[in-house]
Amino acid sequence: MTLDVKICGLTKPDALEAALRNGASHVGFIFFGKSPRNVAPAEAGRLRTLATGRARAVAVTVDADDATLDAMVAAMSPDMLQLHGHEPPERVAAVKARHGLPVIKAFSIRDAGDLAAIAPYRGVADRFLFDAKPPKGAELPGGNGVPFDWRVLAALDPDVDYMLSGGLNSRNIGEALRLVRPAGIDVSSGVESAPGVKDVGLIDAFFEAVRAAGERSAA
């Protein structure tokens, strides 16, 4: 099985090109005003054309209403939506139906008990994304660069299709992939030199570490 790799929070062509050159399967754009990675829909539309035919463009939103989603989808034409707020299962189903797009639903995880939250979303969301709980006082529901204890995912039904995220970087991704077998991984802060500033060298280093982990597991 090929591991999907999503580079999220892209705002500039050089970092997007680095993700694509390294073989990213997904590239993510953030539509959340409080984020240092927030991007205007029209700009995301321009950037996403660079990814067409090379990677899936994912629009990340947080409890967005229909008007916001309609405007974003019209301007950017994403391949997938990532819902990173408190969207209940009915809202996920409604968003999928309205836009005819696959949905990644994000969940905040601290311990194995948090995994129970996915039950009503099975068969509704196309993929799950497990992120760490935001630190106390954090303004962002994701993109905080903090990991959780990946070992809690051992309790998951092996049929669950999920991406691992939260504080991943080139130094810890090998250990994460030794402990768990996600369908994909997702990184934002770990390939930045400052909040919202993607670094081409860190993107290259992240993919290098992913490739090294793959070679070790195949050996």
Ligand X SMILES: O=C(O)c1ccccc1N[C@@H]1O[C@H](COP(=O)(O)O)[C@@H](O)[C@H]1O
Question: Between the CA of residue 87 and those of 22, 71, 178, what are the distances in Å?
Answer: 32, 19, 31
* In the complex, minimum distance from the CB of residue 215 to ligand X, in angstroms, rounded to a whole number: 23
* In the complex, minimum distance from the CB of residue 80 to ligand X, in angstroms, rounded to a whole number: 12
Choice between 30 and 73, CB closer to ligand X: 30
134 touches 152 (CB < 8 A): no
* In the complex, minimum distance from the CB of residue 168 to ligand X, in angstroms, rounded to a whole number: 6
Choice between 78 and 166, CB closer to ligand X: 166
AA identity, residue 183: A
Choice between 144 and 170, CB closer to ligand X: 144
* Footprint of ligand X (CB under 6 A): 8-9, 28, 30, 32, 35, 37, 60, 62, 84, 129, 131, 140-145, 165-168, 186-190
Indicate the residue whose CB is closest to ligand X.
143
The span from the CA of 94 to the CA of 20, in Å, is 31
β-partners of residue 114 are none
Q: Measure CA 179 to chain center.
A: 19
Residues 6+ apart with CB under 8 A from 146: 132, 134, 135, 166, 167
Choice between 170 and 188, CB closer to ligand X: 188
Choice between 144 and 215, CB closer to ligand X: 144
Here the tokens at position 193 are 């030199």
Instruction: Number of helices (H) and strands (E) in the chain: give both, helices first.
Output: 6, 10
* In the complex, minimum distance from the CB of residue 89 to ligand X, in angstroms, rounded to a whole number: 19
* In the complex, minimum distance from the CB of residue 31 to ligand X, in angstroms, rounded to a whole number: 9
